[in-house]
């Protein structure tokens, strides 16, 4: 699994086309709702208990003919409690992946916090909110997609506010307790990789989940306002390739044009914890371009990923990399520039 992810990361950084082979999107799938007129989990065959006025939207779906609509403050449903009971624990945590399509009602974006998935009790422990849109004006990552599953907030660094109103977007989160890494994806692309520090544990992904609402039933101010489709829970860490396929990306012919000398790094060498200025050539990356930055180590492992919106000509990269040599790449999906970074 990790080797596939590493190869994909290298291919994306180097602009190499790779074939998509042998991907089984049903492997490890433990909860699946396609919302075709009911709330039946296709894996267990059980119908979910629901609350509030949940309805189904006809002819507005990403994977079929219908999706589910949340729009009242008490609208939600609950997944089977036994579906994510740990099969393999690592330091108390369990590997898991969550994926879904969402379409926010434009009028509500930037107006309130919205919860997509919440773990109700955490198998007897304190439940956490697995995926949510942060409260506007919050001091930590306001208006971005966030998770709170490891006794700390981790962020996707992506905000749908003003970007994806009334448009379908694909969200995915993978949790790996072995590496203590959280990977966030939007529309099939990795937007951020975050890790737990200071001895904080990755908590178990198990028990009953509430969809579209806060884990506290009486909290009626944080309901998701919009449509949802193709909701999936996995009991493993799915790969970048698999996330891209769930998001409908065609990776079979992916090739980015390598732009030589379009990127420069300073300071370089740099000390651990010191910001790096990444300067971009205007003739390659026009002002206002959305770009993705990736840092890969000498073993080909993706160690840092960030998405930046409306870049003018430079990026301030905050980093906490261990000493060593790295490849830093920036891409807008069509052109790719890279440079070598030394951390001392």
Q: Examine the domain organization and report whether 80 and 153 are in the same domain.
A: yes
Q: Examine the domain organization and report whether 171 and 264 are in the same domain.
A: no
pLDDT value of position 187: 93
Please say which residue of 183, 215, 246 terminates a domain. 246
The DSSP letter of residue 322 is P
CATH code of the domain in which 102 resides? 2.60.120.200
Please say which residue of 211, 246, 281 terminates a domain. 246
Quote the CA–CA distance of 1 and 101 in Å, as a whole number: 24
Q: Examine the domain organization and report whether 264 and 139 are in the same domain.
A: no
**pLDDT of the chain, 344 residues: tens digit per residue:** 333 344 344 444 433 333 334 457 898 999 999 999 999 999 999 999 888 889 999 878 888 889 999 988 889 999 988 887 666 666 667 889 999 999 998 888 888 899 999 988 777 767 788 899 998 888 888 999 999 876 778 889 899 987 767 799 999 999 888 777 889 999 998 898 887 766 667 778 888 899 998 877 666 678 899 999 999 999 988 888 889 899 988 666 555 677 778 899 999 999 999 999 999 998 888 888 888 888 887 766 778 888 888 888 889 998 988 888 888 989 887 888 888 899 98
Q: Examine the domain organization and report whether 226 and 265 are in the same domain.
A: no
Q: Helix, strand, or coil here: 237?
A: coil
Q: What is the domain extent for residue 307? A: 257-343
Q: What is the DSSP string of 133-195?
A: EPPTT-TTTTTSEEEE-SSS-EE-----TTTSTTSEEEEEEEEETTTTEEEEEETTEEEEEEE
pLDDT value of position 89: 67
230: its two tokens: 């193709």
CB 337 within 8 A of CB 284: yes
Q: Helix, strand, or coil here: 102?
A: strand
Q: Helix, strand, or coil here: 306?
A: strand
CATH code of the domain in which 297 resides? 2.60.40.1930
Quote the CA–CA distance of 287 and 297 in Å, as a whole number: 29
Quote the CA–CA distance of 76 and 50 in Å, as a whole number: 6
Q: Examine the domain organization and report whether 192 and 287 are in the same domain.
A: no
The three-point CA angle 46-49-54 to 5° equals 115
CB 97 within 8 A of CB 175: yes
Residue (of 149, 148, 157) closest to 184 by Cα position: 157
The DSSP letter of residue 68 is E
Residues forming beta bridges with residue 101, ordered by sequence position = 170, 229
In a domain, 252, yes or no: no
């Amino acid at each position: 699994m990790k080797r596939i992810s590493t190869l994909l990361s290298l291919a994306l950084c180097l602009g190499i086309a790779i074939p998509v082979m042998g991907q089984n999107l049903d492997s490890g799938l433990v909860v699946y709702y396609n919302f075709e007129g009911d709330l039946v989990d296709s894996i267990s065959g059980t119908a979910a208990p629901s609350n509030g006025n949940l309805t189904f939207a006809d002819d507005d779906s990403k994977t079929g003919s219908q999706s589910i609509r949340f729009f009242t403050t008490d609208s939600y449903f609950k997944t089977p409690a036994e579906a994510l009971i740990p099969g393999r624990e690592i330091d108390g945590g369990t590997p898991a992946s969550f994926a879904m399509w969402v379409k926010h009602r434009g009028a509500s974006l930037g107006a309130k916090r919205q919860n997509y998935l919440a773990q109700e009790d955490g198998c007897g422990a304190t439940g956490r909110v697995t995926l949510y849109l942060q409260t506007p004006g919050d001091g930590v990552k306001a208006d971005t997609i966030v998770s709170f599953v490891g006794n700390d907030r981790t962020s996707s660094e992506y905000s749908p506010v003003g970007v994806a109103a009334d448009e379908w977007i694909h969200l995915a989160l993978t949790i790996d307790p072995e590496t203590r890494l959280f990977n966030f994806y939007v529309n099939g692309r990795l937007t951020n990789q975050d890790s737990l520090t200071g001895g904080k544990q990755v908590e178990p992904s198990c028990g009953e989940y509430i969809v579209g609402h806060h884990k506290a039933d009486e909290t009626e101010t944080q309901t998701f306002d919009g449509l949802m489709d193709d909701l999936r829970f996995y009991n493993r860490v799915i790969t970048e390739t698999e996330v891209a396929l769930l998001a409908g990306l065609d990776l079979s012919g992916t090739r980015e044009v390598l732009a030589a000398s379009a990127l420069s790094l300073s300071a370089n060498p740099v000390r651990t914890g010191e910001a790096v200025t990444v300067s971009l050539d205007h003739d390659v990356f026009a002002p206002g371009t959305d770009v993705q930055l990736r840092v890969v180590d000498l073993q080909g492992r993706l160690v840092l990923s960030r998405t930046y919106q409306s870049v003018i000509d430079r990026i301030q990269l905050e980093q906490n990399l261990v000493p060593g040599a790295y490849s830093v790449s920036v891409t807008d999906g069509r052109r790719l520039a890279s440079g070598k970074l030394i951390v001392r």
